[in-house]
């Protein structure tokens, strides 16, 4: 119901398809419908803020906050006259935000999280163009004592 019969597809990844949804007149969400998911959910640790989940038999969906400015990849590589320029200051702020996010994953968590797939497609931008690292499908958890990391 909140996705209006899955009418607006936002993207698709290894774990499922993401659709835009609406909880109320003012609250939008992203709903990831999981494909034949088997596991304990570690793959979804520290993605965009989780709002809720749905489970109906074997069908599962995760409900995330909706980030209106899409991915960095779609924003900076958008072709044609609709292309917006971010400006050097905003690009610097986004780059620093991504670096802080990676530093947090490596040093700020109880276990180090190695993303292994940082690219513009996996950086979502909120309404103020603050970056959010997403898609932890290739991520690995490591003990901080492993100095090789």
Task: Work out the pLDDT band at 89, boundaries 50, 70, 90.
Answer: very high
Fold of 72-142: Transferase(Phosphotransferase); domain 1 (1.10.510)
**To which residue do tokens 């793959």 refer?**
43
Q: Please state the rounded mean pLDDT for residues 63-87.
A: 77
Q: Is the dihedral of CA 103, 104, 110, 112 positive or negative?
A: negative
20 is in an annotated binding site: no
In terms of Cβ atoms closer than 10 Å to its own Cβ (0-12, 13-18, 19+), residue 19 is buried
CATH code reported for the domain at 9-65: 3.30.200.20
pLDDT digits 0-9 by tens, 12-25: 877 789 999 998 88
pLDDT at 81 over 50: no
130 versus 37: the higher-pLDDT residue is 130
Which residue out of 56, 93, 110, 117 is catalytically annotated?
Answer: 117
Residues of the chain with CATH 3.30.200.20: 9-65
* 110 a catalytic residue: no
Q: What is the pTM of this model?
A: 0.76
Task: Return the closest-CA partner of residue 102 out of 51, 46, 61, 50.
Answer: 46
Residues of the chain with CATH 1.10.510.10: 72-142
């Amino acid at each position: 119901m909140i996705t209006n019969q899955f009418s607006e597809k936002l993207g698709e990844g290894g774990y499922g398809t993401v659709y835009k949804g609406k909880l109320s007149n003012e609250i939008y969400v992203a709903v990831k419908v999981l494909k034949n998911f088997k596991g304990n959910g570690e793959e979804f640790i520290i993605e965009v803020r989780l709002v809720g989940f749905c489970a109906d038999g074997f069908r599962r969906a995760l409900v995330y906050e909706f980030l209106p400015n899409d991915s960095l990849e779609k924003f900076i590589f958008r072709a044609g006259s609709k292309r917006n320029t971010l400006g050097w200051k905003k690009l610097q702020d986004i780059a620093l935000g991504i670096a802080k996010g990676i530093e947090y994953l490596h040093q700020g968590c109880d276990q180090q999280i190695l993303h292994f797939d940082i690219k513009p497609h996996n950086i979502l931008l909120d309404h103020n163009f603050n970056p959010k690292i997403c898609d932890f499908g290739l991520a690995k958890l490591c003990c901080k004592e492993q100095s090789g990391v």
